[in-house]
Structure formats: structure tokens, C-alpha cells
Structure 1
Amino acid sequence: MRIIAGTHRGTTLADVGKGDASAHLRPTSDRVRESLFNVLQGGRLGDPISGARVLDLFAGTGALGLEALSRGAAHVTFVDSGRVAQKLIKDNIAKLGRQTDSTVVATDARKLPAGALCDLIFLDPPYGQNLGLPALQAAQAKGWIAPDALIVWEENQPQIAPAGFQKLDQRRYGDTWITVMRHAP
């Protein structure tokens, strides 16, 4: 696993092998991450990354948020309840020297504390456990989602945009579905 583009392009991140099933770690593959960021920065959505405040829910290794930092995001808040994931995220932040523009919140994504508005939200819950919608609702209720924020939801099934969100794009990569939505309160 490596950073695909930006200031940290080519940097290898902490290795989790094939993931950690007990910790629900299933890193987004380099290929899917590259395709996702090509969609985000392909022009149709403007430039949702440069200068953005990012919330990375179910952050795992932190690869999505770190890719955003490498491409110009201003700050990323990584949220994960797993100890293994928290260590991987902290190790990867240190490896890239991004401690000043990163925060790690050790909590269940469905039980977020109050937060700062974010422009881009990555939502990558463990597949098939129906955790995405409650986490999205918690982020909205606790003030993390800015008006017009983009939400990138990765799951093993296509997702329907809930009330208050508009689906902009949906793509399948093998067993992974990426749904891009805009917060439209």
C-alpha cells in the first residue's frame, strides 16, 4: 500500500498484509484508491481536496485521509475504534510527518463527539454490517458535515443516498462499490 500522488507520492504505508479480520481492517486497494481520487479530481466535482477539512470514518490504516493530505487537504480527522487501526494510523502519520495537520479520534464512528465542519468525508465501514448509515447520521448530528460536503462511501453493495444527501456518482470495482454524494440540507 502506497500513496498514489501528491507530495508523498510513492511512499509506502505500514503493511497490514491482507488486512486484520479481527480488527475489521480491509485496506482500500491502491487501484481503487487511485480510481476514486481520479473521480474526485476529474473536474466534474471541482477540486474537493485542495484546502479541504477531511473526516475519515472507519479510517483503518488512514490511507484515504493520508492520500487527501498528500494531494493538498488542509486537515484530516481520522476516526477508528480499533487499537490496531489507531496504531497503524499514527505510524503512517508519523512516517509522512503530518502530525500538525492530522487528528486521531479513538472512538466508534457511530458515537462521534461534537466536531468541526468538514468538506470531504470518507466513509469506509466494515462490509455488510450496516454501520455506514448510523455513522453518517452521527457525523451529521454532531456537526462534522459542512453544507455541500462530499461524502465518499465505500461498501460491498451500492448505497442509496439518505435524506439530506444527493447521489452524484456510483462505481463498482470488483466487490467494492464507491458512492459519491453531496450533502444537500
Structure 2
Amino acid sequence: MTRIDVIDNHGQFTHLEQRALRDMGVDVSLRDNTTPPEEIDADGIVLSGGPDMDDIGNCPEYLDLDVPVLGICLGMQLIADELGGRVGGGEYGGYADVTVDILDDDDPLLGSLYPETRVWASHADEVKEVPPGFERTATSDVCGVEAMSNTDEAIYGVQWHPEVAHTEEGEEVFENFLSVCDQQSVARQ
């Protein structure tokens, strides 16, 4: 069974990320972002959303654990910031129902949602420039980088919240991430 650690960056929806995965039959643990990296024993990591880039704990170190990573909202932003991208204030703050254009129908995380999906998103801060090695995989009228992927490193990010009911195909995003984790786990054995 696939094991996923959801890293708690103190966001208001983190428990929903854990619940969504648990309800899909995943062996999932919720861990504080101060958990030492050597205590992470999972097939994949979800970096949750949260309120503050100054309170990301050990998240930068988790990016070096050689397991797939999915960053959600702040989780995506911290990936971009740590790996050489650029994060800045969004022009549209607050939560909203957003139509997201999927740019790559071959992307392992979002390709199955092509050509578009409706999501629940917050854009107080957002990725302005993806890091080297990443591709922008989704965009919208309110955010230029709604999602990004580095398929070589199996690191992905979405600006929106797949764990909430307002995101129409959120479970599919998690299913696709689990497929990536399963493939990587088999390759490591």
C-alpha cells in the first residue's frame, strides 16, 4: 500500500488533504513541518498549504528525500522559492471558484484533466516564475502559474486546493499523484 506523509504547514485545509487520501484507501500520516527528515518514511510527500512562508519548518529538506512531492498552495510556493523560482503577491486575493486551463495533456499530474478544470483557489501569493527544470502546466485568468511539474524529479505543485469539495476533479489529482508515487516506489526497489 502506498504511504503518503502530509506535511502540516498549518493551513486551514490540511486535515482535508489527509482525509481525502485516507478515504481513497491510502496509508497516510499527518506530520508537523518540524519533523526531522530522517523520520519521514513514505512513498510520497504532500506539502500542505499554510499562511506563512516564514513558517515552513523542514520543508526545504524534504525536497531532497528522493520521493515524489506534491505542493499545494503554499507548498507549491515554497517549492518554487527553494528551487530557484520566484514567488510574489497575487493580484487576486481570497478564495474563489476558478477555471484553470491545463497546458499539457501528457503531464502525469494534470494531463488527465485536459483541457480545463474548475478549482477552489486562493491567490494572495503565487508563483511568478517556475524554477529551472519545471514546466508551467496550468494557468488561469487570475494566475499565470496555476500548476508546475518537474517530471524528472517527480516534484509537482498546484496553486489550488484539490482536497476541497469545490474543486471538481480534486480526487483525480490525488489519484494521479499516487500513480507517480507507485511508479517511483517500484523503480527504487
Using structure 1 for the length normalisation, give the TM-score.
0.38
User: Which structure ranks higher in relative contact order (CA pairs < 8 Å, sequence separation ≥ 6)?
Assistant: 2
